[in-house]
Amino acid sequence: MNQAKTFMLLAALTALFVGFGYLLGGPAGMVIAFGVAIAMNAFSYWNADKLVLRMYKAQLVDETHPDALIRNYVSDVKEMATGAGMPIPRIGILPQDQPNAFATGRNPENAVVCATVGLLKMLSREEIRGVMAHELAHVKNRDTLTMTVTATVAGAITMLANFALFFGGRDRPGGIIGTLAIMILAPMAAALVQMAISRSREYEADRIGAEIAHDPQALASALAKIEGYSKRIMNEQAERNPASGQLFIINPLSGQRADNLFSTHPNTKNRIDALMNMVGAGPRPAPDGEYVTAVPTTKGRRAKGPWG
């Protein structure tokens, strides 16, 4: 269902591009803007992983690391990737206290999955496995490629909007007023579709990640914890680069209360509900009104690391 939804949203985004391009500049203007957008996004496609890793000061790690906590983390990622029949990605850690994780790379053969120090410190081993299985699902689904395509088309639409005053005018439908309306509405519509695609990919990664880890409850428990911590612990690097926020499993900038149009992440409660439905369990409200799930506390114990 989510795959079909993503396809339909991509088709809608493409239709927006073609329609707005023709209205503003005709075939010539559409081709020029699309060419520029492809060039810009091609650079991002081939270099995004390097840029993101450098931005977050990621450190690549392996099973020779002196800390047992990190060795377990690396071992679990490799074991789950092998079990899922996919190439083993590069594995990194981020020097961030906020528990979170992301995946990047243009395809499974060139992927990187990263967890923050806070994630390894604050979650149980089962919960960490659930989170990293979610990131492996993004890699397996080639979500980074999907988002690159959406970014290319959305970028082309924005480029067309910027060129509106040159290509548009009195001879276009609606005249100057119509051109100005398209300048404002075209990028907004493209952004809304792009965000909707991002949300649909998160739900799909939750589902497949739960299958990779064989533990929907652990991922549900991890999402609830990360959501709570993200509201209290600032990710300073993400705050300085908010566009990178959609990479993470939970929005690192602020908690989201609903699947609203401008959210790149689904509401965490909805994600937890979907995961619990996979095992026939249901959510329950806590007495103080905070949302919790019927997830039993994971029994595993994490190894002690240099952070406590």
Residue 202 annotated in active site = no
| pLDDT computed for residue 200 by the predictor | 78
Q: Which of 135, 202, 204, 227 is catalytic?
A: 135
| pLDDT computed for residue 136 by the predictor | 97
Are 76 and 129 in contact by the 8 Å Cβ rule? The answer is yes
pTM for the model stands at 0.76
Q: Which residues, at least 6 apart from 201, have a Cβ–Cβ distance to it below 8 Å?
A: 2, 6, 138, 141, 143, 146, 147
- Gyration radius (Cα) of the chain, Å: 21
Q: What single DSSP character describes residue 248?
A: B
| Positions of the chain with pLDDT under 70 | 1-7, 9-10, 21, 24-26, 29, 33, 148-149, 151-152, 155, 163-182, 194, 243, 254-264, 281-308
| pLDDT computed for residue 287 by the predictor | 33
In angstroms, the first-to-last Cα distance of the chain is 42
